[in-house]
């Protein structure tokens, strides 16, 4: 069996293979509630054979959403629609994860396909759940002063920081009630926790700013607090922007140090992405972020997830075989081919067992067409 399609265990969770659907914002919720769009969008990846399906960045507090269309887990009523999705993912053999997030100064931004003409009347705004609020951040500085979509945030005080930590804890408890197998702490892509980590966004002079140790403090406090309430037999993940991809910003060396500290606090794997600040620039090419996954895995001795234009099956297998990462995560690649995992099994192992029983007639079609090796 190929490594890509082989089972893997983190704590008490065994995934049927090492393929992951990365969190992808759909901007299709109202008041944070999952709906039929999310059910179908996520359910199709379980049918397609993925090992772990991650729900999009989910606001731990209402003001932590990227937009008014984001999912949320800040109140109990939001549990049931997510539990319905989890149950379906489980019924098809996939594990279910959810990314817990706070957007910080990148919150309260527009939904791109809802322009002024779609929000002209109160009825139109109500139909899409339109809201607008002032974001919060480590420092009162806009994500991008040249972009009017980003506001100047309010700098978090001690009470505000406590609210963020409590929000992550409460959301993790709700995720457990919904039946999720894992949660991922989102500390990447220029959102709140990445803002605290980066010297480009964090200009505080208290215990949460200045030195790298201080800038890591909030992420580590959240990891400790979530791990304390998350079941011991369930893995805890963290997503990092391993590099800000910007001069003077957060670096891979910083991420290795942070990953070691997260591992010591019970984080089981690091989802390795990059960028997210307005100053960051990197050329996107196939597998361009794999070196970040390798650096964190080798430097911190923790399993890593590679992500970023990884749709080539043979290349994904090589990444795992060479030990550069332990999981392969797809986002847009999964949108393009929700059956990527079952197609990978056909290519690598000539195996059709990942297909749902209702769809295994594909094997007969492939035999007739001579698709199989």
**For residue 270, which of 218, 232, 235, 309 has the smallest C-alpha distance?**
235
194 DSSP β-pair partners:
none
Catalytic residues: 191
Contacts of residue 261, Cβ cutoff 8 Å, sequence gap at least 6: 216, 220
Cβ count near 185 (within 10 Å): 26
Question: What distances in angstroms separate CA 222 from CA 165, 171, 246, 253, 266, one per listed residue?
Answer: 6, 12, 26, 21, 11
**Alpha helices (runs of H) in 236-352, residue ranges in sequence order:** 252-264, 290-300, 313-321, 332-336, 340-349
Strand, helix or coil for residue 97 = strand
Q: Are the C-beta atoms of residues 270 and 306 closer than 8 Å to each other?
A: no
Q: Are the C-beta atoms of residues 186 and 222 closer than 8 Å to each other?
A: no
Q: Does an H or E element contain 270, and which?
A: strand 269-273
Supply angle C-alpha 228, 224, 242, rounded to 5. Answer: 135
Strand, helix or coil for residue 283 = coil
Residue 343 to residue 350: CA distance in whole angstroms: 9
**69 alpha-carbon distance from chain centroid:** 16
């Amino acid at each position: 069996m190929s490594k890509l399609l082989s089972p893997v265990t983190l704590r008490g969770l065994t995934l049927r293979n090492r393929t992951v659907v990365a969190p992808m914002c759909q901007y299709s919720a109202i008041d944070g509630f999952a709906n039929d769009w999310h059910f179908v969008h996520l359910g199709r990846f379980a049918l397609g054979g993925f090992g772990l399906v991650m729900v999009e960045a989910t606001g731990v507090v209402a003001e932590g959403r990227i937009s008014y269309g984001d999912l949320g887990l800040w109140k109990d009523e939001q549990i049931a629609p997510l539990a319905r999705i989890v149950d379906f993912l489980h019924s098809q053999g996939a594990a279910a994860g959810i990314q817990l997030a706070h957007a910080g100064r990148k919150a309260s931004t527009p939904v791109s396909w809802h322009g002024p003409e779609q929000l002209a009347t109160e009825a139109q705004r109500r139909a899409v759940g339109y809201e607008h609020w002032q974001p919060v951040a480590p420092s009162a500085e806009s994500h991008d002063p040249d972009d009017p979509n980003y506001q100047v945030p309010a700098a978090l005080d001690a009470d505000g920081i406590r609210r963020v930590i409590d929000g992550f804890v409460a959301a993790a408890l709700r995720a457990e009630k919904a039946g999720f197998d894992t949660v991922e702490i989102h500390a990447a892509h220029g959102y709140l926790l990445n803002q605290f980590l980066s010297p480009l966004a964090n200009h505080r002079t208290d215990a949460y700013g200045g030195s790298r140790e201080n800038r890591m403090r909030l992420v580590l406090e959240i990891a400790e607090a979530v791990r304390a309430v998350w079941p011991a037999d369930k893995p805890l993940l963290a997503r990092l922007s391993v590099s800000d991809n910007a001069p003077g910003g957060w670096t891979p060396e910083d991420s290795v140090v942070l990953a070691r500290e997260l591992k010591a606090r019970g984080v089981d794997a690091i989802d390795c992405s990059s960028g997210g600040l307005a100053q960051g620039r990197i050329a996107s090419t196939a597998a361009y972020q794999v070196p970040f996954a390798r650096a964190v895995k080798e430097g911190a001795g923790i399993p890593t997830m590679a992500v970023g234009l990884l749709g080539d099956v043979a290349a994904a297998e090589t990444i795992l075989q060479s030990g550069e990462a332990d999981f392969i995560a797809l986002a847009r690649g999964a949108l393009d081919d929700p059956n990527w995992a079952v197609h990978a099994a056909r290519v690598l192992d000539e195996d059709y067992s990942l297909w749902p029983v209702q769809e295994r007639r594909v094997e007969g079609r492939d035999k007739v067409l001579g698709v199989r090796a």
